[in-house]
């Protein structure tokens, strides 16, 4: 070593921080273990998770298993009617419910950006834990990764859900039939417009509050009454119009819905008119569409109206012929003026970062 060399000692241990996320929180060391213990285990504690194994060991279930996965990147993290944590639970549970499954277990993967206030993380995790408890599901395993400052956007959450489908239940696009009635469970567009107004700092007349809510309870009630439900779909990204097109394509079949029957609240309708948006394409997080034979419509609506999440449920249309003619539109809207309008898939993203 030359006389001019200068030795500068380096400390391999990160300085402790109780206020923000550091890269070391994802490194597998002391800070990561502290984060797991103080934030995730404290909020999500249950016997499956507390075992701290590489995989959760779950009891055998009587019925067919349904599994779904989803990722949540909504911005802002907190919005009127919910937050990214409650949304992650509701969204995953609802995907299971649309198959007629009873939700049982969730996984939770967090991608955190360096510099995120730990207080914000705790707020999200606490909301997620409460929502899961209220819905009767356990968060049984998880993962945490940390990315450099500027390489993420505070928090991204990935969830996987597992549910049990009773043996007698068979729900899906393959059961769509000519003459089926189309029921929508409530007013449309509230989630998308609530998130957008909060994100952009827009103020509209009337309250815009997300419709984010769990749907498994109302679906279970419908199934317990032995209704012949052919198909269900929750109305998330792309809204009602996109969901109907997806199902009509899978059918394949045609659908006609009545504009005058579709419920849209005055605040959502006004905001959409100002911004040039169509509420039929705006995202929802607590609404679904249901297809069933005409004979079951009245009983289904009676059951739906007993649940807060579906008090405004209404019959909006029907499925047409199963065999399509060339160039025939899949989904048609009969307007208030008696004319017809083709509802097609969106050509682009109307409202990004909504879920």
Report the candidate in 355, 261, 267 with the shortest Cα–Cα distance to residue 317.
261
Task: Calculate mean pLDDT across residues 64-89.
Answer: 97
For residue range 48-70, what is the model confidence (pLDDT) as tens digits?
Answer: 999 999 999 999 988 999 999 99
Q: What pLDDT, on the 0 to 100 scale, is given for residue 322? A: 63
State which of 144, 165, 186 marks the end of a domain.
165
What band does 1 get if pLDDT is binned at 50, 70 and 90? very low
Residue 204 pLDDT class (50, 70, 90 cuts): confident
**Residues 321, 236 share a domain:** yes
Q: How far is CA 184 from CA 41, 99, 244, 291, 342, in A?
A: 39, 16, 11, 9, 19
The domain of 131 spans 23-52+61-165
- Is residue 158 domain-shared with residue 306, that is, in the same domain? no
Q: Which comes out higher in pLDDT, residue 343 or 327?
A: 343
Read off the pLDDT of each residue in 137-164 and give the average, rounded to a whole number.
97
Q: Does a structural domain hold residue 43?
A: yes
Joined tokens for residue 15: 């300085």
Q: What pLDDT sits at residue 145?
A: 97
Hey, what are 123's tokens? 């707020």
Q: Running DSSP on this structure, what letter comes out for residue 325?
A: P
Neighbours of 211 (CB within 10 A): 25
Q: Mean pLDDT over all residues of the chain?
A: 92
What pLDDT digit, counting tens, does each position of 11-62 carry?
Answer: 554 545 579 999 999 988 999 999 999 999 999 999 999 999 999 999 998 8
Q: Please state, in angstroms and rounded to a whole number, the distance separating the CA atoms of residues 91 and 69.
A: 10
Give the CATH number of the domain where residue 89 resides: 3.30.1330.10
Please give the Cα distance from 61 to 167 (Å, whole number).
11
């Amino acid at each position: 070593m030359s006389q001019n060399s200068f030795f500068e000692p380096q400390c391999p241990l990160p300085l402790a921080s109780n206020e923000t996320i550091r890269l070391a929180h994802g490194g597998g060391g002391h800070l990561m273990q502290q984060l797991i213990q103080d934030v995730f285990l404290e909020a999500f504690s249950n016997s499956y998770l507390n075992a701290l194994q590489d995989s959760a060991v779950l009891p055998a279930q009587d019925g067919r298993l349904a599994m779904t996965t989803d990722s949540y990147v909504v911005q802002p993290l907190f919005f009127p009617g919910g937050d990214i944590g409650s949304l992650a639970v509701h969204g995953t549970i609802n995907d299971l419910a649309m198959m007629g499954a009873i939700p049982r277990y969730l996984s939770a993967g967090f991608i955190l950006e360096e510099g995120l206030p730990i207080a914000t993380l705790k707020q999200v995790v606490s909301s997620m834990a409460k929502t899961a408890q209220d819905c009767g599901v356990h968060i049984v395993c998880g993962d945490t990764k940390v990315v450099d400052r500027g390489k993420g956007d505070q928090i991204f959450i990935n969830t996987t859900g597992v549910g049990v489908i009773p043996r007698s239940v068979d729900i899906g696009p393959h059961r769509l039939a000519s003459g089926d009635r189309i029921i929508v469970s409530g007013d449309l567009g509230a989630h998308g417009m609530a998130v957008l107004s909060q994100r952009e700092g827009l103020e509209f007349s009337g309250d815009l509050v997300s419709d984010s809510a769990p749907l498994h309870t109302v679906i279970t009630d419908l199934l317990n009454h032995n209704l012949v439900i052919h198909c269900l779909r929750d109305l998330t990204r792309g809204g009602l119009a996109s969901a109907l097109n997806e199902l009509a394509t899978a059918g394949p079949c045609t659908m006609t819905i009545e504009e005058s029957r579709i419920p849209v609240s005055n605040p959502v309708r006004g905001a959409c008119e100002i911004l040039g948006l169509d509420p039929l394409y705006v995202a929802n997080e607590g609404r679904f569409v249901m297809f069933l034979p005409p004979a079951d419509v009245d009983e289904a609506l009676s059951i739906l109206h007993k649940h807060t999440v579906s008090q405004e449920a209404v019959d909006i249309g029907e499925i047409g012929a199963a065999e399509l003619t060339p160039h025939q539109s899949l989904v048609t809207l009969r307007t208030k003026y008696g004319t017809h309008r083709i509802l097609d898939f969106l050509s682009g993203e109307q409202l990004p970062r909504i879920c």
